[in-house]
Amino acid sequence: MTGAAGCAGKPTLAVVGATGAVGTVMLGILSERADIWGEIRLIASARSAGRKLTVRGEQVEVVALAEEAFEGVDVAMFDVPDEVSARWAPIAASRGAVVVDNSGAFRMDPEVPLVVPEVNPHAARMRPRGIIANPNCTTLSMIVAMGALHAEFGLTELVVSSYQAASGAGKAGVDALREQLGKVAGSDLGSQPGDVRGAIGDSGPFPGPLALNVVPFAGSLQEDGWTSEELKVRNETRKILGLPGLPIAVTCVRVPVITGHSLAVHARFEREVTVSAAHEILATAPGVVLCDDPAQGEFPTPADVVGTDPTWVGRVRRALDDPCALELFVCGDNLRKGAALNTAQIAEVVAAERAAL
């Protein structure tokens, strides 16, 4: 092992992309969780070098991404665009750091484990490239709950519709939605075809206006009309659950929410299921909160779960036409469990493993 852990005790952590939407939440999470790290080094592009950010109550200067920035680093979290991770994660790994990568660059690489600590923590140990991948935010927003139900009932099929927040498209997505909301606030727009589109003009990173609207497209267009985001949910769910042939149909929809992804899930299992058995599992599963009393108006919504760590589950019903299937609604903070928190949890698994050596 290279890095500071051996000599100074606590391991050195690098946060690459510390200035971005995920990086910003990461610094908050690192400030709240058990203080297991020695130095925390903040890295971003040369544009941000010299900026000071607060982590653990201290101001830390951002350094530019460069090979030397990984000197002495034990664990390097990457919260940067795919192409930056693709180039720099192997460099960090070659300098002795274990990389936990939040981008899509390595998730489907057979030599890179895709890890959710509540579901498949053991996978983190097998990392021949020195890289562990963090799943996509939409997959992560449901997988802890689905993993718990799968462990009990055995999943045989999933049909998923997502309701994804603007911050899933990074800071640019948040800025665009806020700007669009400003353009429509107080107006009577939304009563004529095209009036919202006309008022908003350029819709930024979304392929249509998001304020007063929903957009049934997230990611980029792939073969046969599927989007990259839909294929990620399908492929990553299969990899995490170890079910390579699981039938999964996904439709990803962007909604005018700042942060908090939601998913409506139809899940089919190997045997008959009941709502009470599902409730029992979900009420005790680590990382899951059951919030399911519609008679009292209790069900999760993104506005209520934003800023929280767990996966929230409600509206659990047995399918009317299939005793082996459940319908449920799942919500999670796409920047916390959907990105930064899961990455922090994986990094903690690695740190614990190193501490045990």
Residues labelled catalytic? 137, 261
Exposed/middle/buried for 121, CB within 10 Å: 0-12, 13-18, 19+?
Answer: middle
CA dihedral for 341, 229, 263, 245, sign (positive or negative): negative
Give the pair of three-digit tokens for residue 285.
């599963």
* 86 interacts with ligand NAP by CB under 6 A: no
20 is in an annotated binding site: yes
CA dihedral for 248, 162, 120, 132, sign (positive or negative): positive
* 171 interacts with ligand NAP by CB under 6 A: yes
User: Phi and psi at residue 235, in whole multiples of 5°?
Assistant: -70, -40
Overall size of the chain counted in residues: 357
167 is in an annotated binding site: yes
The nearer residue to ligand NAP, 12 or 48, going by C-beta atoms, is 48
Determine the interface stretch with ligand NAP among 80-88, 90-98, 111-119, 124-132 (rule: CB under 6 A).
Answer: 80-88
* 213 interacts with ligand NAP by CB under 6 A: no
- Give the x-and-dash track for 44-73 against ligand NAP (CB under 6 A): xx-xx----------------x--------
The nearer residue to ligand NAP, 119 or 290, going by C-beta atoms, is 119
- Minimum CB separation of residue 293 from ligand NAP in Å reads 29
Distance CA 251, CA 255 (A): 13
Among 3, 219, 260, 338, binds ligand NAP (CB under 6 A): 338
Among 74, 79, 229, 333, binds ligand NAP (CB under 6 A): 79
Determine the interface stretch with ligand NAP among 28-36, 39-47, 177-185, 205-213 (rule: CB under 6 A).
Answer: 39-47
* 23 interacts with ligand NAP by CB under 6 A: yes
* 91 interacts with ligand NAP by CB under 6 A: no
* 137 interacts with ligand NAP by CB under 6 A: yes
User: Phi and psi at residue 173, in whole multiples of 5°?
Assistant: -70, -45
164 is in an annotated binding site: yes
What residues numbered 226-285 form the site for ligand NAP, per CB under 6 A?
Answer: none
The single-letter code of the amino acid at 113 is P
Determine the interface stretch with ligand NAP among 14-22, 66-74, 90-98, 120-128 (rule: CB under 6 A).
Answer: 14-22
Which residues are 131's β-sheet partners? Answer: 99
The nearer residue to ligand NAP, 72 or 338, going by C-beta atoms, is 338
Which residues are 356's β-sheet partners? Answer: none
Q: Ramachandran region of residue 315, left (φ > 0), alpha (ψ -120 to 50) or beta?
A: left
**Enclosing H/E stretch for 282:** helix 275-284
Give the number of other Cβ atoms within 10 Å of residue 354's Cβ.
16
85 is in an annotated binding site: no
44 is in an annotated binding site: no
Measure Cα distances from 109 to 131, 255, 343 in Å: 10, 30, 18
107 is in an annotated binding site: yes
The single-letter code of the amino acid at 131 is I
Q: Ramachandran region of residue 285, left (φ > 0), alpha (ψ -120 to 50) or beta?
A: beta
**Enclosing H/E stretch for 174:** helix 170-184
* 332 interacts with ligand NAP by CB under 6 A: no
The nearer residue to ligand NAP, 168 or 302, going by C-beta atoms, is 168
Distance CA 61, CA 48 (A): 9
Determine the interface stretch with ligand NAP among 13-21, 118-126, 248-256, 282-290 (rule: CB under 6 A).
Answer: 13-21
Q: Residues within the annotated binding site for phosphate?
A: 107
Q: Residues within the annotated binding site?
A: 19-22, 47-48, 107, 164, 167-168, 254, 334
Q: List residues binding ligand NAP (CB under 6 A).
A: 17-23, 44-45, 47-48, 65, 79-82, 84, 102-104, 137, 167-168, 170-171, 334-335, 338-339
